[in-house]
Every structure is written in structure tokens, then in C-alpha cells.
Structure 1
Amino acid sequence: MLIISLLSHLQHCLKRYQTRKALASVSTQQMEDMGLSHEKCQAELSKASIIGFVSDLTRTKEKGETL
């Protein structure tokens, strides 16, 4: 069961990494449509690296927090 949970977490982190990479090609109008400010977009783009990916992998979920 632990292996399945770890693989599921890995899959979720990979999806988040790919989504952040795709965010780089989004136009300003599309960002506004998604409700993202320029600052928030830049913060997410800064996490679109191997360091950000590893950080997501090692991060644990706090009570009530969604990752």
C-alpha cells in the first residue's frame, strides 16, 4: 500500500511539474481568464525546475492544505 501511495504522489508531482512548464506559454489574457496575477504566475514558473520538483516530492501535506 505504501508503494502505491508513493507512486501516486510521484505521478501527482510530475503532473504539477508539467503544468508549471506549460504555464510559460500562456498569454496574459489567458492568465487573467484563469485568475492568475503576473506575480503568482512568476512564482509558479520559478518552481518549474528540478529543484522545485524535488521540493514537491519531499513536501508533506499539512492538515487542511491541498497540494
Structure 2
Amino acid sequence: MLIISLFVHIQQCVVRFRSRKRLARLTTHELSDVGISSECRNKEVAQATLYGFTQDVLSKVKK
């Protein structure tokens, strides 16, 4: 069960990583439609790196 949980978590991290990459391509009008500020977008996009992905994966492992 632990291994399955870890694989599910990694899959969720991949989805978040891809979403953050897509978020970088949105225009300001599209951001307002979604309800995300430019500051929040910049914060999320900054995590769309290999380092951010690794931190996201390790956050579950540390708990």
C-alpha cells in the first residue's frame, strides 16, 4: 500500500508540475477569468522547475 500511495503522490506532483507550466502561458485576461492574480501566478510558476518538483515529491515523503 505504501508504494501505491507513493506512486499516486508522484503522479499528482506531475500533474501539478504540468499545470504550473501551462499557467505561465496564460494571459492577464485568462488569469482574471480563472481568478488568479499575477503575483500568485508568479509564485506558482517559480515552482515549475525540477527543484520545485523534487520539493513537492519530498513533502509527502517527509511526513
TM-score by structure 1 length? Answer: 0.86
For 1:7-62, what per-residue CA distance to the aligned partner results, in whole angstroms no more than 9, with x for missing partners?
Answer: 000000000000000111111111001111110000000000001000100113xx
Question: Partner residue of 1:28?
Answer: 28
Larger helix proportion, structure 1 or 2?
A: 2
Tell me the matched-pair count: 60
Cα RMSD (Å): 0.7
Unaligned runs of 5+ in 2: none
* More contact order relative to length (CA 8 Å, sep ≥ 6): 2
TM-score normalised by length of structure 2: 0.91
- Counting aligned pairs with the same residue, the percent is 40
Paired residue for 2:54?
54
